Structure 1
Amino acid sequence: MKHNMPIFLLITSGNGPAECNQAVAGILQHMLDETEAIGLDLDVNTKPSKHGAKSAVVVVNGLGNDAFARRWCGTIRWRSKSTLRPNHKRANCFVGVFQLTRNATQKVEVNPSDVVFESFRAGGPGGQHQNTTDSAVRATHRPTGLTAVAHEMRSQHRNKSLALERLQTLMNAQATADYEAQKNDQNQLHNTLERGNPVRCFKGTNFREERCR
């Protein structure tokens, strides 16, 4: 089976207020729903906050992941009355989605003895072609809590190898994000968030997508 190279994305609220943390969480859920619908796999590591997530690093696996990334990269706008500050006038929150450069020097090694594997029953791309055996595998890195899933292969053994590979890739993606955030300016990526010309727009607490104006 052919696989595209994984794509690393960073979702960030920049230095925005708590409402922008809510926006990150809502956008991440939208991404998860979208990738499930089109048969891509998304591995995620979030930096949680009290009201959502400050940022998240995601690794997109599967054929068509490049087109998926293009649809999301840029500034995302969320219009909603604040549920945290009811009397506040803020209506727009802006979140940035950046593709991270695969930097060969930013690598970490996963020790297999630190990984717990769990098999489970899972459907195929888009929820179709349900597996008849529990061949899907979830790999969890105990020291960090990071997880990755593989279900494409018929063999549980091959899914185990793929899940471990994806866990390694997710850890590399997080290391790359940390490197990018630290070089030159401590908040280089966060501070480049442009609050204009959004590529996708959402509205309300249910994050309904709307046309950008």
Structure 2
Amino acid sequence: MTEIILHISSGKGPDECCWVVTKLAQAFTREGAEQGVTCDVLDAGEALPASLLLSVSGEAAPAFVRERIGTIQWVGDSPFRPLHKRRNWFVGVALAPSPQSVPDLRESDITFSTMRASGPGGQHVNKTDSAVRAVHRPTGLVATAQEQRSQHANRKLATLKLALMLEERRVEAGGQARRDQWSAHQALERGNPVRTYIGPHFKLKVAK
């Protein structure tokens, strides 16, 4: 079965964009169910995440993902500032980098430790030491994962989070060309959304 990991990011947007990140993952999950594609949020720790990872799996996953990579626009009133005049909010969707594709990430440089999961997350939480903490020794970057039900899956997720951190760090330290490649996470292309959703129920706007 094909599995693709998407990174949905608010860029440097306000809380409204973080809210859209969560709602968009829910919209993708709903749309995926209609098309025989399974979408699972891999890291659902925060109420207003600046970004999240979404697993998309199934035979139709590649086509499903192709239609959603890029800038996504949501048109609606701010859920936090009722009098705010802005009604257009933007988030970015991109393929998450695989750990194998990040040159600065070697498993020999990562120290893994296990811990007991805490907080919401299902029956497995607080019953097994399934949560994983990954430390990238050369940089001191730390990633934790407790959302998955097995220690192996959380180890894989923590490594993926480190890959994202290292890639963002590498691009920020690099030249303009590499920063442009990461534009979905830094400065979204607001004038050219690949999909537009409207209203609190995230109704897809159909192009005429």
Determine if the TM-score, normalized by the shorter chain, exceeds 0.5.
Answer: yes
Give the gaps of 5 or more residues in structure 2: 133-143, 174-178
Indicate yes or no: 2:32 matched with 1:58.
no
Give the gaps of 5 or more residues in structure 1: 121-138, 150-162
Superposition map of 1:104-119 within 5 A: 104=100, 105=102, 106=105
Indicate yes or no: 2:37 matched with 1:42.
no
Given that residues 12 and 186 in structure 2 are in contact (C-alpha distance below 8 angstroms), is that contact kept between their aligned partners in structure 1?
yes
SS of equivalent to 2:65: helix
- Residues 123-177 of structure 1: per-residue CA shift (max 9 Å, x gap): xxxxxxxxxxxxxxxx98324453347xxxxxxxxxxxxx666544433322221
Superposition map of 1:1-213 within 5 A: 3-4=1-2, 6-37=3-34, 38-46=36-44, 48=46, 52-104=48-100, 105=102, 106=105, 141-143=130-132, 144-148=144-148, 166-185=153-172, 188-189=182-183, 190-212=185-207
Q: Distance in 1 between matches of 2:53 and 2:201?
A: 22
SS of equivalent to 2:11: coil
Deviation of residue 63 (structure 1)? Answer: 2.2
- Residues 59-118 of structure 1: per-residue CA shift (max 9 Å, x gap): 3233222112112101100000123212211010000001123241546689797689x9
Q: TM-score, normalised by structure 2?
A: 0.68
Question: Aligned letter for 2:5?
Answer: F
* Counterpart for residue 153 of structure 1: none
Q: Distance in 1 between matches of 2:158 and 2:69?
A: 21
Aligned positions, number = 176
Q: TM-score, normalised by structure 1?
A: 0.67
The change in CA–CA distance for 1:107 and 1:11 in structure 2 (over 3 A counts) is farther
Q: Distance in 2 between matches of 1:90 and 1:184?
A: 30
Deviation of residue 45 (structure 1)? Answer: 1.4
Given that residues 73 and 96 in structure 1 are in contact (C-alpha distance below 8 angstroms), is that contact kept between their aligned partners in structure 2?
yes
The change in CA–CA distance for 1:33 and 1:77 in structure 2 (over 3 A counts) is same
What percent identity do the matched residue pairs reach? Answer: 27
SS of equivalent to 2:189: coil
Given that residues 12 and 187 in structure 2 are in contact (C-alpha distance below 8 angstroms), is that contact kept between their aligned partners in structure 1?
no
Given that residues 47 and 55 in structure 1 are in contact (C-alpha distance below 8 angstroms), is that contact kept between their aligned partners in structure 2?
no
Q: Distance in 2 between matches of 1:107 and 1:31?
A: 32
Q: CA RMSD in A?
A: 3.3
SS of equivalent to 2:172: coil
Deviation of residue 35 (structure 1)? Answer: 3.1
* Counterpart for residue 140 of structure 2: none
SS of equivalent to 2:82: coil
